[in-house]
Amino acid sequence: MMIEHWEAIDLYKALAALIAGFVLGLERELKDKSAGIKTITIICMGSALFTIISMKVGTGNFDPGRIAANIITGIGFLGAGVIFKEGFNVYGLTTAGIIWISSAIGMSIGFGQFYLAITFLIGSLLIIYSSKLINSVMEPKHKNNKILTIKLKIEKANTKDEIINDIALHTSSISETRFKKTNSEVFISFEIKVNPQQNKYLEKYLIENKDLISFTYQ
């Protein structure tokens, strides 16, 4: 009978996977990401369940690691589904990473490696919640610096200061590095520091500004 295969440890594993998935998914949920509490918790519990099943049916020459290996493949597809590119930026990498580690933690719980799962859960939470502080301390000074060059018609040269002020609204810092004037056009280059959120609005401003003949941004 199926009831004969029930063990109390399976309940503990299910609860541990539920808690681990909830804790990992909470941070994504609070940031309104595509994979939140429900998704991460289900992934963690599902990975634990597949692992438990692989151990229970693993008799004789059957290798429980075969099911675990297929879990990794399936999680890879889920992770790829939350990654997308918009303009110069790639989004979803952190969410994909959390999906991946939640599955690994679920597998650890399924195999009964509770201390291993707790260790990596704590390590993951530390890096997730301290990443902003780490970035502010260790981020290279010019990591987010870009060079922006705009081209104006000569009769629009008097709008230079207004354009600089508008660009400054969408950047962390801006400094003029080059100014070139020809008979019909003006070229102005800036070194700007911009984060991904600012980048989105800066691109929109540059595209919609009718005073600009063209611009390069790299």
Name the pTM for this structure. 0.61
For 138-148, write each residue's pLDDT tens digit: 655 555 678 88
Nearest-angstrom CA–CA distance, 77 and 88: 23
Among 51, 101, 94, 113, smallest CA distance to 75 is for 101
On whether the CB atoms of residues 209 and 164 are closer than 8 A, the answer is: no
Nearest-angstrom CA–CA distance, 28 and 128: 10
For 6-52, write each residue's pLDDT tens digit: 678 888 999 999 999 999 988 888 888 878 889 899 999 999 998 88
On whether the CB atoms of residues 101 and 120 are closer than 8 A, the answer is: yes
**The dihedral of CA 30, 31, 36, 41: what is its sign?**
negative
Tokens of 211: 């005073």
Residue appearing with tokens 């029930």: 6
Domain 145-217 matching CATH 3.30.70.260: the answer reads yes
Domain extent listing, the chain: 7-138, 145-217
